[in-house]
Amino acid sequence: MYDAIILAGGENSRNLNHYTSQPYEAMIEIAGKPMVEFVAEALAATPHVARIFVAGPARELAKCAFPQNVIIVDGGQTIMETISLGMRALGHENLTLVVTADIPLLTAAAINDFLAQCAGVEADLYYPIVTRSDHERRFPGNKRTYVRLKEGTFTGGNIFLVNPKIVPQCMQVAERIFDNRKNPFKLCCLLGWTFVVQFVLGTLKLKQVEKRVGDILGLKGAVIRSQYAELGIDVDKPSDLELVRNCFTQGY
């Protein structure tokens, strides 16, 4: 079994603060409750997750109706600081799930599939991607950030399996990668100009990206191809919020 950390410290973005008065994204109400509750419930519904640490504004999170195996811890000023605080609370260095709080469509099935695929690969960091066709088939019309590679066009997920031992060594670089996650060109610039050229030409391969990111961070990474498009639906703009609310209205 794995412990999990939900990153719930993100403040409400300028894109959403006109649609909700909640100061934190995790607390934005969807179908009558904060969306972080849906993420915690999905994690609690899988037999592969033991404890769930929710890292963020402890006073606000204490108002939530979480499953019994949830432990609330204070978050940090940045995403990587929050991850570090969550890792510190674990009390071990076993592989740990890290999930953002803004993916309320997350399901136990998606988590189980991701973990099952990870089990067949030895790595320090596992990251899911979803093909554009799978995403658009599940959520037609939803706008995502896509990367065109030789194997196809993909969008990233918002769940990771991480070896806690590697977190301290890659804090700064990982922060830069995370900050530029919505900008494929900037991400390629971090990887080097050879990657930029190959990216523009559409000849960049998944294995090349996987190896280069691992080299930069000083770890072994593994890209996991998932068919579950809900891994990529993070609520960070009004259209995402509308999509998610409509999904629950329609009995998602």
pLDDT band per the 50, 70, 90 thresholds, residue 96: very high
Cα separation of 252 and 249, whole Å? 7
The percentage of the chain sitting over the pLDDT mark of 70, rounded to a whole number, equals 83
Task: Determine contact, residues 10/60, Cβ cutoff 8 Å.
Answer: no
Q: For residue 30, which amino acid is it?
A: I
Q: For residue 234, which amino acid is it?
A: D
Q: pLDDT tens-digit profile of 1-18? A: 999 999 998 776 666 666
Q: Which residue has the tokens 């593994």?
A: 222
Listed residue (86, 100, 97) closest to 36, CA to CA: 100
Cα separation of 136 and 153, whole Å? 12
pLDDT at 174 over 70: no
pLDDT given at position 150: 87
Cα separation of 136 and 133, whole Å? 5
Q: Which distant-in-sequence residues (6+ apart) come within 8 Å of 246 by Cβ?
A: none
Q: For the residues 208-223, what does the mean pLDDT come to?
A: 82
pLDDT given at position 180: 61
Cα separation of 123 and 125, whole Å? 6
Q: For the residues 95-99, what does the mean pLDDT come to?
A: 96
Q: For the residues 152-178, what does the mean pLDDT come to?
A: 81
Task: Determine contact, residues 8/75, Cβ cutoff 8 Å.
Answer: yes
pLDDT given at position 64: 94
pLDDT given at position 52: 98
Q: For the residues 50-57, what does the mean pLDDT come to?
A: 96
Q: For the residues 46-73, what does the mean pLDDT come to?
A: 95
Q: For the residues 40-50, what does the mean pLDDT come to?
A: 97
Q: Which fold has domain 2-249?
A: Spore Coat Polysaccharide Biosynthesis Protein SpsA; Chain A (3.90.550)
**With 0-12 CB in 10 A as exposed, 13-18 as middle and 19+ as buried, what is 15?**
middle
pLDDT given at position 182: 65
pLDDT given at position 120: 84
Q: For the residues 163-180, what does the mean pLDDT come to?
A: 73
Q: pLDDT tens-digit profile of 98-155? A: 999 999 999 999 999 999 999 989 999 999 999 999 999 999 988 888 888 889 999 9
pLDDT at 195 over 80: no
Cα-only R_g, the chain:
17
